[in-house]
Amino acid sequence: DTGVSQNPRHKITKRGQNVTFRCDPISEHNRLYWYRQTLGQGPEFLTYFQNEAQLEKSRLLSDRFSAERPKGSFSTLEIQRTEQGDSAMYLCASSLDLLSAYEQYFGPGTRLTVT
C-alpha cells in the first residue's frame, strides 16, 4: 500500500499522559497536513508542513500540541498533558505542492480516547 499511513490506529490514554502519533505521507509528496475530527463534525485544520518547514498553525493547536517533520518525510504530532477534550480522530494528509495542494490524500487516522 503506497498511500498515507498513520500509527497507531487507536490510542487510549489517561488524562495527563503524553501521546505521540506518526504519519508517513505518500513518498513523493512534500506537503503534509494534520487535521482533527470530532464526532459529527468535519475535519479541522491543525497545521501543515512544506518539506521540513512548519508553515502554518491553527489557533486550535494549543501549546500542549507540537508537530515535527524533521527530515521532510514522516511527521509526528505530540500532545502533552492530554485532556478529555483532546479525544478525537487525528487525520494526516499529504499532497505534492501548492499548485496541487487541493489534492490531499488522507491517511486512515489515529483515534485518540482520553479517559
Chain residues binding other proteins by CB under 8 A are: 31, 33, 35, 40-45, 48, 56, 91, 93, 98, 101-104, 106-109
Closest CA to 28 of 104, 95, 107: 95
Nearer Cβ to other proteins (80/111): 111
Structure-block grid coordinates of residue 28: 513523493
Which one, 14 or 41, has the nearer CB to other proteins?
A: 41
Phi/psi region, residue 73 (left: phi>0; alpha: psi -120 to 50; beta: rest), is alpha
Report cis status (omega within 30 of 0) of the bond before 8. Answer: yes
The minimum distance between CB 47 and other proteins, in angstroms, equals 9
Residue 76, C-alpha cell as written in the block: 509526528
CB of 16 to other proteins, least distance (A): 27
Q: How far is the CB of 100 from other proteins (least distance, A)?
A: 10
Cβ of residue 70: shortest distance to other proteins, in angstroms? 21
- CB closer to other proteins, 14 vs 28: 28
CA–CA distance, 8 with 83 (Å, rounded to integer): 19
CB count in 10 Å sphere of residue 55: 10
**Closer of 14 and 85 to other proteins (Cβ):** 85
